[in-house]
C-alpha cells in the first residue's frame, strides 16, 4: 500500500509530442533504460495508431522481463485486439483503455451520449478481460468531467474488470488542491473502488503537473504517470525525475510512501532521451539541468563550503550526476573509454566500441579534453550510421556559397564502390547539398520533421552534431552527422536518414512481392 508505482509514458505520450518521434531502435534503448531504472510500468505505444507503434510495442514487450509493458487502446474492439496482438509475448502485459468522460469531449469529439459512453466502456473492458486481467481504464479529461458521471464511469469500468483507474488532467487545467480532492472523492463515492488501484496522469499546461501528481498521491493515488524530462503533448507531462525526487526529499510530507526507482539512473536516462530527440538539456531544468547543482554566487558558495545543506536539498550523486568525473584525453585507453561509456548508460558490442574508439582518437587529435557530451555525440552518430550493403556512403562534396549568389553543391556518393555524382542549386549550401543527394538517392516524397545543429562544446572548433528527421507516411527516419564542419555533418546526417528511408521502402516492396 505504501509503494507508489511509476508508470512511464515517454514512449507513448512523450513520443506523441512534435519533434519527439523515435525509431524502433531508439525506443528499445529507452525501454531497456527504464527497466534498468526499475520503472514499474512502461507504456510502449498505441499499436493501432501506426505500424511503427505496433512494431515498437511488440519488440518492447518481448524485450522487457521485469517491468510491465502497457499499450494504449481506445474503447473500440479493433484497437484492443491490436494492443493485445502487440503485447501478447510480454511477461506481464497491460491493456490501457481510455475514453473521455467530460461532456465537452463526448459531445464535440466523440458525438456520444453519456449512456453510449458507459456502454462502450463496459463492452471494451469485458472484451479486454478476454485477453488479460491487467487492465487500466483512463477517464480522459477527468478533471473537467461532471463528478456524478465520473463516479458512474469508474464504477462501470471496475465492475467490468478494470483493476487500475486513471484520472488524467488531460489539458493541465487543475490545481493541486482540486486534484487531491478529485482522487479522494472518487475513491470515497464509488462503491467498488477498493477493487482498483488509482492513478494520476497530469499535463503541464499551467506548470503544475508535478505538484498535481503529488497531490493526487496524497489524495490516495498509488500510481503516477509521467515521462523522462517531462516530455509529452503540448507543455508535456509530469516529469518522472521531479515526482520521484520530491517524494525522496520530503519524507515529512509523504511519510512511508516511496517508489522502487533506482534514482541514480536518472541523469543517464535524461541524457539518453534528450539526445535521441535531438534536444539539449535546458540548463535550468530541475534535477537534470546543468545548473541544477551549480552554485555561482559568493553567498551561496560560502554557505556550501560551511555546510552543503545550506543550499543543496538533494545530492548530485543521488540522481547519478557525477561531479569531478574523469575527463578523457589522448592518453586514455580503450578501457577508460569503455568504462566511461558504461557510466553514461551505453552498452556497446565489440564492433561498436572499436568504431567509437577510432572516432574518439580522431577527436583527441583536434581537442585536448573530451567531455561526456562529445562521447554521447560520437555514440549517437555511430549507432545512427549502422550500414548495410545497399547503403550509400559519402565520397566527397564541394559547395560554393556567397551572400550574393545562389549556392551550388556537387556531391559524390558511393554505392558498393560505384561512384555517383550530382550537382544542385539551393537556397543555401545545405539545401543545395541535400538537393544533390536527392538526385542520387531518389528517396520517396518526405517532409522534414527536424533539422538541428548542436554545438557540442563552447568553442568555434567544437564538433557540430547535426540531427535530421524525415517523415514519409506515418514513419520517421533519423540520421546524425558529427563533424567540425556543419555542412559535412548535415550531409552525413541526411544520407543516413535517406538510407534508412530507402531500406524501409525496399523491405516493404519485398513483403509485397513475397
Ligand atoms: O492525457 C490523457 O488523458 C492521456 C490518456 C490517453 C491517458 O494521455
Ligand atoms: Zn496524456
Helix 24-36, helix 51-63: angle, nearest 10: 30
Residue 512 is predicted with a pLDDT of 64
Q: Does residue 218 register a pLDDT over 80?
A: yes
The tens digit of pLDDT for each residue in 385-434 reads 666 778 999 999 999 999 999 999 999 999 998 999 999 999 999 999 99
Q: Does residue 513 register a pLDDT over 90?
A: no
Report the pLDDT averaged over residues 289-309.
80
The tens digit of pLDDT for each residue in 25-50 reads 889 999 999 999 999 999 999 999 99
C-alpha cell at 328: 578523457
DSSP-derived 3-state class of residue 469: strand
Share of the chain above pLDDT 90, in %: 69
Residue 163 is predicted with a pLDDT of 98
Give the nearest ligand 1 atom to 72 CA.
6
Residue owning the nearest CA to atom 6 of ligand 1: 98
CA dihedral 482, 484, 490, 494 (to 10 degrees): -30
CA distance 239 to 230: 4
CA distance 496 to 488: 12
Give the nearest ligand 1 atom to 140 CA.
3
Residues with CB under 6 A from ligand 1: 13, 98, 138, 140, 166, 168, 170, 201, 203
Residue 220 is predicted with a pLDDT of 98
The tens digit of pLDDT for each residue in 433-470 reads 999 999 999 999 999 999 999 887 666 667 788 999 99
Q: Choose the CATH number for 5-277 among 3.90.1010.10, 3.40.50.1820, 2.40.50.100, 3.20.20.70.
A: 3.20.20.70
Return the higher-pLDDT residue of 290 and 181: 181
Residue 285 is predicted with a pLDDT of 94
- The preferred substitution site among 9, 17, 48, 170 for testing ligand 1, maximizing ligand atoms within 8 Å of CB, is 170
Residue 371 is predicted with a pLDDT of 77
CA of 140 to the centre of ligand 2 (A): 8
CATH number at 392-513: 3.30.160.270
Position 504 confidence tier, pLDDT thresholds 50, 70, 90: confident
The Cα-based distances of 230 to 121, 204, 227 in angstroms read: 29, 8, 5
Report the pLDDT averaged over residues 242-246.
98
Query: Which ligand sits closest to the CA of 170?
Result: 1
The domain limits of the chain are 5-277, 293-322, 324-382, 392-513
CA of 170 to the centre of ligand 1 (A): 6
CA of 389 to the centre of ligand 1 (A): 42
Surrounding residues of ion ligand 2, Cβ less than 5 A = 13
- The preferred substitution site among 48, 96, 98 for testing ligand 1, maximizing ligand atoms within 8 Å of CB, is 98
Position 225 confidence tier, pLDDT thresholds 50, 70, 90: very high
- The preferred substitution site among 13, 16, 45 for testing ligand 1, maximizing ligand atoms within 8 Å of CB, is 13
CA of 72 to the centre of ligand 2 (A): 11
Which stretch, 16-20, 241-245, 266-270, has highest mean pLDDT? 241-245
Average pLDDT, the chain: 92
Amino acid at each position: 500500500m505504501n509503494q507508489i508505482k511509476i508508470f512511464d509514458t515517454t514512449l507513448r505520450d512523450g513520443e506523441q509530442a512534435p519533434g519527439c518521434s523515435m525509431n524502433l531502435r531508439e525506443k528499445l534503448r529507452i525501454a531497456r533504460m527504464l527497466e534498468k531504472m526499475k520503472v514499474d510500468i512502461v507504456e510502449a505505444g498505441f499499436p493501432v495508431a501506426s505500424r511503427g507503434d505496433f512494431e515498437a510495442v511488440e519488440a518492447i514487450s518481448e524485450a522487457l522481463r521485469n517491468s510491465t509493458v502497457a499499450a494504449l487502446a481506445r474503447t473500440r474492439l479493433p484497437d484492443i485486439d491490436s494492443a493485445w496482438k502487440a503485447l501478447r509475448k510480454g511477461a506481464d502485459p497491460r491493456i490501457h483503455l481510455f475514453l473521455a468522460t467530460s461532456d465537452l469531449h463526448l459531445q464535440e469529439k466523440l458525438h456520444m451520449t453519456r449512456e453510449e459512453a458507459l456502454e462502450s466502456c463496459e463492452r471494451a473492458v469485458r472484451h479486454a478481460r478476454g485477453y488479460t486481467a491487467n487492465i487500466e481504464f483512463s477517464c480522459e479529461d477527468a478533471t473537467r468531467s461532471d463528478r456524478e458521471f465520473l463516479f458512474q464511469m469508474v464504477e462501470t469500468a471496475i465492475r467490468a474488470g478494470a483493476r487500475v483507474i486513471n484520472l488524467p488532467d488531460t489539458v493541465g487545467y487543475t490545481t493541486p488542491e482540486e486534484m487531491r480532492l478529485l482522487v479522494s472523492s472518487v475513491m470515497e463515492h464509488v462503491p467498488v473502488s477498493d477493487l482498483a488501484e488509482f492513478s494520476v496522469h497530469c499535463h503541464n499546461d499551467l506548470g503544475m503537473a508535478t505538484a498535481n501528481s503529488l497531490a493526487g498521491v496524497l489524495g490516495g493515488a498509488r500510481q503516477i504517470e509521467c515521462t523522462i524530462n517531462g516530455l509529452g503533448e503540448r507543455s508535456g507531462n509530469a516529469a518522472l525525475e521531479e515526482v520521484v525526487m520530491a517524494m525522496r526529499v520530503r519524507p515529512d510530507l509523504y511519510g512511508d510512501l516511496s517508489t522502487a526507482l533506482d534514482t541514480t539512473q536518472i541523469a543517464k536516462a535524461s541524457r539518453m532521451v534528450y539526445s535521441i530527440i535531438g534536444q539539449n538539456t535546458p540548463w535550468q531544468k530541475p534535477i537534470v539541468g546543468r545548473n541544477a547543482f551549480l552554485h555561482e554566487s559568493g553567498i551561496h558558495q560560502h554557505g556550501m563550503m560551511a555546510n552543503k545543506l545550506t543550499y543543496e536539498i538533494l545530492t548530485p550523486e543521488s540522481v547519478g550526476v557525477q561531479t569531478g568525473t574523469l575527463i578523457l584525453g589522448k592518453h586514455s585507453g580503450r578501457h577508460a573509454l569503455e568504462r566511461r561509456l558504461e557510466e553514461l548508460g551505453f552498452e556497446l558490442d565489440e564492433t561498436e566500441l572499436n568504431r567509437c574508439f577510432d572516432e574518439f582518437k580522431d577527436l583527441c587529435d583536434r581537442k585536448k579534453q573530451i567531455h561526456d557530451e562529445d562521447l554521447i555525440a560520437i555514440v549517437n552518430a555511430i549507432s545512427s550510421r549502422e550500414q548495410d550493403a545497399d547503403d550509400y556512403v559519402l565520397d566527397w562534396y564541394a559547395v560554393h556559397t556567397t551572400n550574393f549568389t545562389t549556392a551550388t553543391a556537387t556531391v559524390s556518393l558511393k554505392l558498393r564502390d560505384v561512384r555517383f555524382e550530382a550537382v544542385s542549386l539551393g537556397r543555401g549550401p545545405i539545401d543545395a547539398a541535400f538537393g544533390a543527394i536527392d538526385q542520387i538517392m531518389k528517396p520517396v516524397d518526405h517532409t522534414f520533421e527536424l533539422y538541428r545543429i548542436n554545438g557540442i562544446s563552447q568553442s568555434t572548433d567544437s564538433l557540430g552534431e547535426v540531427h535530421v528527421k524525415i517523415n514519409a507516411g506515418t514513419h520517421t527516419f533519423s540520421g546524425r552527422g558529427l563533424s567540425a564542419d556543419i555542412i559535412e555533418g548535415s550531409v552525413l546526417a541526411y544520407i543516413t536518414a535517406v538510407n534508412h528511408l530507402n531500406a524501409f521502402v525496399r523491405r516493404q516492396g519485398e513483403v509485397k512481392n513475397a
